[in-house]
Structure 1
Amino acid sequence: MTFQITPDELTEITVRLRRHLPKNLTTIHTNGRAAYVAALRTVIGTDMPALWATYQTEAEALTTAYAYLRSPEATTEWLPAIARLVDAQDSTVRAAVAFDARAHDLALVHDRHKYADMSPRDALTAAGHPDAAGWHIAPSWTYGCRGHGETLAEQTSRLTQEQNDIIATVSRLAAGAPAGH
């Protein structure tokens, strides 16, 4: 009987059996590293860095809009400032959702190559994307499972909800404040 195994399966077998092998068999060469790097290049493509850049730009705009809303200057234009914040929240959440769609694919590649004898950071660098090590990639199983709070979209949604809760509290307290205060 003949079995066919993939390079990734061979790497996993090697990792699990290494401690049971004779000392003189410490290195077994596979092309698992090359497969890992190639898979990363395919998944990242040319648009994933742009998706991350878009998210960062939108998140920065959200931070700026929220900071302005909390400044004394915002009291003269409270409703327009809130409208700008809501626009920034929506844009940031949309950017996070778009990035997460690809981040899930990247997380799956990391899972498939976890025995490639190469760290994700090293593999991303070898794939030509060392900056991708700073991207927010949640564990693959958290994508599509709401409530774990680890995906970028979930974290962004939680942030916007916290902002909305603070605005609601301030609005409620302001409505009950004596005039001129």
Structure 2
Amino acid sequence: MQLGHSITISPEQMREITARLRPHLPSNLKTIEPHPTGSGPHYVFEPPFTGREARPVPPHAFYEDPGLIPVSGSQDAAEHDLREKAQHVLDDVYERADGEWRNAAYVADLKDHLRDTPALWAAYQAAASDLETAYSYLSNPDAGREWHAAIFRLVAAQNQAKTTAAAFDARAELIAQTHRRHLYADRSPTSALTAAGYPETAKDWHIADADDYSRGHHFAWSSAVPLLETVSRLIEQQDSNVAKVARLAGEVASLPHPR
């Protein structure tokens, strides 16, 4: 069995190493076997890590085990070689265990925030659609006959869009903080969300960087902003356009009519 690029462990050595290391290995390590690709050992952890157990670390007892304490090569070359390789195996086991635990902890933390997140996103999407409908209607000739009512519907849609965006942001911030906390996990944010049970549409969710949710000000040129900031910018642009239309319409109305 090959470990890394320079360590070769014979089957006999691996059996002896496994026997000596057994008291110090993770309790859920089921087997150590050659990887099908030949690139080092393959570890099977059963049951898999949940991320809610203690983080796996080499136990202190390993360093005090009489059968594993390092000996010099001049004292016993074969035993020196065996114990040195045992140290490498232990390090590799716990590196792999830690990686799987971190991935599991990432998914477990995201599950804590699953709850009604899809419903919050659906509520925002519905509000955003209503807002688009209300704003687009203002360019319809029929809007002129009920302008005040149309503006009232627009304002109501704007308020609902902001309310639902803020509600989603509250949950998105928790998800962003989880992504930040597990930045060095092997899983990507999308795969972690999928493993946590989030729907396929989760990839479309508007989740900004964790730091952006606590900023008191966002630069106008920055597009990486929370959902509420995005909606507020849209509403500001809508209000500006409506005000301009009202101003121009008023100027036209004040012009003298041709006789």
| TM-score, normalized by the shorter chain, greater than 0.5 | yes
- Show the counterpart of 1:116: 185
For structure 1, the residue ranges without an aligned partner over 5 or more in a row are: 1-5, 9-20
Moved more, 27-36 or 55-64: 27-36
The answer to whether the 8 Å contact 1:44/1:106 transfers is no
- Show the counterpart of 1:87: 156
Supply the distance in 1 between the matched residues of 2:193 and 2:174 (Cα, whole angstroms): 14
Higher relative contact order (CA 8 A, sep 6+): 1
- Show the counterpart of 1:75: 144
Supply the distance in 2 between the matched residues of 1:179 and 1:143 (Cα, whole angstroms): 52
Pick aligned residue for 1:131 from 198, 201, 210: 201
Q: Deviations over 1:106-150 (max 9, x none)?
A: 000000111110000000111111321210000000002132260
Name which one, 1 or 2, has greater alpha-carbon Rg. 2
Question: Match of 1:114, SS?
Answer: coil
Say whether 1:34 aligns with 2:100: no
Relative to 1, partners in 2 of residues 1:107 and 1:179: Cα closer, same or farther, differing over 3 Å? farther
Supply the distance in 1 between the matched residues of 2:215 and 2:140 (Cα, whole angstroms): 37
Pick aligned residue for 2:235 from 160, 165, 176: 160
Supply the distance in 2 between the matched residues of 1:179 and 1:80 (Cα, whole angstroms): 28
Question: Match of 1:143, SS?
Answer: helix
Question: Match of 1:103, SS?
Answer: helix
Supply the distance in 1 between the matched residues of 2:190 and 2:256 (Cα, whole angstroms): 57
Say whether 1:170 aligns with 2:240: no
- Show the counterpart of 1:12: none
- Show the counterpart of 2:33: none
TM-score, normalising length from structure 1? 0.82
The answer to whether the 8 Å contact 1:40/1:109 transfers is yes
Structure 1 residue 71 displacement after superposition: 1.6
Relative to 1, partners in 2 of residues 1:126 and 1:179: Cα closer, same or farther, differing over 3 Å? farther
Supply the distance in 2 between the matched residues of 1:51 and 1:125 (Cα, whole angstroms): 17
Question: Match of 1:28, SS?
Answer: helix
Give the letter aligned to residue 229 of structure 2.
E
Relative to 1, partners in 2 of residues 1:111 and 1:7: Cα closer, same or farther, differing over 3 Å? farther
TM-score, normalising length from structure 2? 0.58
Structure 1 residue 179 displacement after superposition: 7.1
For structure 2, the residue ranges without an aligned partner over 5 or more in a row are: 1-53, 57-87
Say whether 1:44 aligns with 2:119: no
Give the letter aligned to residue 145 of structure 1.
R
Over aligned residues, Cα RMSD in angstroms? 2.2
Structure 1 residue 7 displacement after superposition: 4.3
**Which has a greater percent of helix?**
1
Structure 1 residue 29 displacement after superposition: 3.0
Question: Match of 1:81, SS?
Answer: helix
Supply the distance in 2 between the matched residues of 1:131 and 1:36 (Cα, whole angstroms): 19
- Show the counterpart of 1:18: none
Supply the distance in 1 between the matched residues of 2:55 and 2:113 (Cα, whole angstroms): 19
